[in-house]
């Protein structure tokens, strides 16, 4: 969803609300997909080519659990405040400019903002590095790879796999 920066009224701003479909896999550090739409409400204010966005979003993401690797739904509810500036204004690495009001600064290419990209980025920012399907997730068995949330395998949970051949010998004796 592209919003032409010039068409944002600089006096009263622009208020947008609705739902937006962000389809496909959005893998970054973890596999992530957004099966449903992102519900949002955002107010845009413009000062020349600088746009401030202030809003909230709500969606359900599907992410891979770090322990058992199964996909699990995760509700994302987030409020955000971003300042978006033209890409030409992006500071060089040497002169990192800090926004005086300490807003998240984002840069738009050309002359329009891609609201879908901004919302997806906010969903990604809301996710922690390590995601679990539940705090009680028992993960995968390190020996046979069985998902221990679903069934208990026959493996010895405390045994060192390097000693398994010795255990076999003992059983036969
Ligand atoms: Zn899990
Ligand atoms: Zn096992």
Q: Tell me: the pLDDT tens digits for 82-106?
A: 999 998 877 765 555 555 555 678 8
Q: pLDDT band for position 173 (50/70/90)?
A: very low
Would you say residue 136 has pLDDT above 50?
yes
- 10 Å Cβ neighbour count for 122? 23
Q: Kindly tell me if the per-residue pLDDT of 33 is higher than 90.
A: no
The predicted-structure confidence for 59-77, as pLDDT tens digits, reads as follows 998 888 989 999 888 899 9
Q: Which residues surround ligand 2, an ion (CB under 5 A)?
A: 141, 143-144, 146, 153, 155
Distance 130 CA to ligand 1 centre (A): 11
Near ion ligand 1, which residues have CB within 5 Å? Answer: 65, 67-68, 133, 137
How far, in Å, is the centroid of ligand 1 from the Cα of 159?
22
What is the CA(123)–ligand 1 centre distance, in A? 20
Is pLDDT of 159 > 90?
no
What spacing in Å lies between the alpha carbon of 35 and ligand 1's midpoint?
A: 19
Per-residue pLDDT, averaged over 29-41, amounts to 82
Please report the pLDDT score of residue 146 as a whole number: 94
Q: What is the 3-state secondary structure (H, E, C) of 95-164?
A: CCCCCCCCCEEEEECCCEEEHHHHHHHHHHHHCCCCCCCCCCCCCECCCCCCECCCCCCCCCCCCCHHHH
**What residue has token string 């739904």?**
73
134 Cα to the center of ligand 1, angstroms: 6
Q: What is the pLDDT of residues 120-132, one digit of tens each?
A: 889 988 988 788 8
């Amino acid at each position: 969803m592209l919003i032409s920066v010039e068409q944002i009224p600089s006096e009263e701003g622009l208020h947008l609300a609705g739902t937006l479909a962000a389809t496909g896999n959005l893998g970054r550090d973890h596999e992530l997909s957004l099966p449903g739409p992102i519900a949002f409400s955002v107010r845009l204010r413009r000062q020349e080519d600088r746009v401030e966005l202030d809003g909230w979003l709500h969606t359900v993401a599907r992410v891979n659990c770090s322990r058992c690797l199964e996909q699990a739904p995760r509700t994302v509810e987030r409020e955000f405040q971003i300042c978006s500036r033209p890409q030409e204004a992006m500071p060089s690495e040497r002169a990192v400019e800090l926004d005086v009001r300490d807003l998240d600064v984002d840069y738009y290419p050309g002359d329009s903002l891609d609201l879908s990209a901004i919302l997806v980025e906010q969903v990604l920012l809301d996710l922690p590095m390590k995601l679990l399907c539940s705090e009680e997730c028992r993960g995968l068995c390190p020996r046979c790879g069985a998902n221990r949330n679903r069934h208990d395998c026959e493996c010895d949970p405390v045994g060192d796999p390097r000693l398994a051949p010795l255990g076999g010998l003992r059983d036969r004796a």
